[in-house]
Amino acid sequence: MNILRQLELEHMKTTIPDFGIGDSVDVHYLIKEGDKERVQLFAGTVISLQGGGTRRSATVRRLVSGEGVERTFPLHSPRVADIKVRERGTIRRAKLYYLREREGKATRLNPNLGRLQYPRSGKGSGLQKPEAPAAE
Amino acid sequence: MTGSKTLGLLGKKVGMTQIFLDDGTCVPVTVIQAGPCKVLAVKMATAAEHPEGHRSASMNLGKKRGKQNKPRSADGYYAVQIGFDDKPARSCSKAELGHNKKAGLDEGKRLVREFRTEVAPTEKPGDEVTVSVFDGVKHVDVSGTTKGRGWAGTIKRWGFSRQPASHGNSLNHRTGGGLGRNQSISKGVPKGKKMAGHYGVERVTVQRLELVKVDAARNLLFVRGAVPGHNNGYVEVRRTVKRERVIIGQMKAKKAAAAKAKK
């Protein structure tokens, strides 16, 4: 196997749920406050998925008191502790940048009941983590 | 410790990716398949320093005198010659094969380089050099051959500015502009004037790249940042000649400790 691909597989998480663009997710993000670490929740809609391998990232958009807030999370970062899928959305675009021009009710996406059952690709996130060879 | 004259390693650029450190910092790294390299020869300042069994060599001195054992002369400097990447014997010259035979090899090496050392090297021909030469090394210099850009204009090659796209500019958007001065003051085009021409495919060394991780089992080096050349291109890696840079994480820790001490 290509060495780079192999290395990326080793560094990838196996626990990321299979979610897609348009889904509402809770991202559990570890933040440092002084010496303590705590989990911060960022709940919003996934409007963009980008990159492959360890570089995969998701842009999540939410409305905070009428103001749009977007954060991009590197999915395989140890800072991203967990991602919980709350709702599936129906989408007809690969990137939901059009939501930026919308406010209030217009930002809602139709729930996708049919897609509740993942994995849709059939492959799912059943990623096999290859064993790194033991150091001599 | 800094020092230019230490044994380095030859390798192949695998490509770039990114890895996360434990604290979540994302580091862009170039992965280098470095070694294992074979020591093909050692160079010694004086003849007596050559290792046992390598002080003389059989030489063919022509029809009359035949093969004779000639003592090796002094090289005048210390160096270790290492080879990387196997080359089948059928594509080697006889001279190459004969040379490698002294290191116990019956094949060639595609990349052969000498690394100068400060003192007489302890390595012997036939020894293997691995990433362990970088034990305790935090920064490396990486040399390679840059990607070829072909015939490139002054903007790409020398970083010249573009000329205006409009305001009456006529067909002079990416041209180099004036070349020199005129009339009595002129000495023609100044020597070394930067012009368009062939760019790339030149040896470039990037100094002081942080060695983020070493994978001894697979002979991989993880170097922070970019390295000259295309993927699968050959590179030389050596301990940096510069002073070691304070690593960002350590600097933060140091500052935090200092702030605490103040309190």
Looking up residue A22, the CATH number of its domain turns out to be 2.30.30.790
Contact B216 A132 (CB under 8 A): no
Annotate A76-104 with b (16+ C-beta within 10 A) or e (fewer): bbebbeebebeebbebeeeebeebeeeee
Q: Does B22 touch chain A (CB under 8 A)?
A: yes
Per the listing, tokens 């010259």 go with B93
What pLDDT does B221 receive?
A: 94
Share of chain A above pLDDT 70, in %: 81
Confidence of residue A19 (pLDDT cuts 50, 70, 90): confident
Same domain, B50 and B108: yes
The token pair at B250 is 């350590």
Helices first, then strands: H and E counts in chain B: 4, 14
Same domain, B138 and B248: yes
Residue A83 forms part of a structural domain: yes
Instruction: Please name the residues between 59 and 118 in chain A that touch chain B, using a CB distance below 8 Å.
Output: 74, 76-79
Same domain, B90 and B169: no
Residues 6+ apart with CB under 8 A from A125: A14, A16, A17, A18, A119
Q: Are B227 and B147 contacting, i.e. CB atoms less than 8 angstroms apart?
A: no
Residue A124 forms part of a structural domain: no
Q: How many domains does chain A have?
A: 1
Q: Does B20 touch chain A (CB under 8 A)?
A: yes
What pLDDT does A134 receive?
A: 57
Same domain, B117 and B239: yes
The token pair at B56 is 């003389």
Same domain, B83 and B154: no
Cα torsion through A104, A110, A113, A119, rounded to 10: -90
Residues 6+ apart with CB under 8 A from B130: B9, B35, B36, B37, B216, B219
**What ipTM is given for this predicted complex?**
0.73
Confidence of residue B113 (pLDDT cuts 50, 70, 90): very high
Q: How many domains does chain B have?
A: 2
Which pLDDT tens digit goes with each residue over B193-252?
Answer: 999 999 999 999 999 999 998 999 899 999 999 999 999 999 999 998 888 766 666 667
Residue B101 belongs to what domain range? 9-147+203-262
Residue B189 forms part of a structural domain: no
- pTM value? 0.80
Choose the closest CB to B217 out of A30, A54, A135: A135
The mean pLDDT of B41-69, rounded to a whole number, is 79
Contact B33 A3 (CB under 8 A): yes
Helices first, then strands: H and E counts in chain A: 1, 5
Residue B181 forms part of a structural domain: no
- As a whole number, the mean pLDDT across chain B is 87
pLDDT at B29 over 90: yes
Confidence of residue A129 (pLDDT cuts 50, 70, 90): low
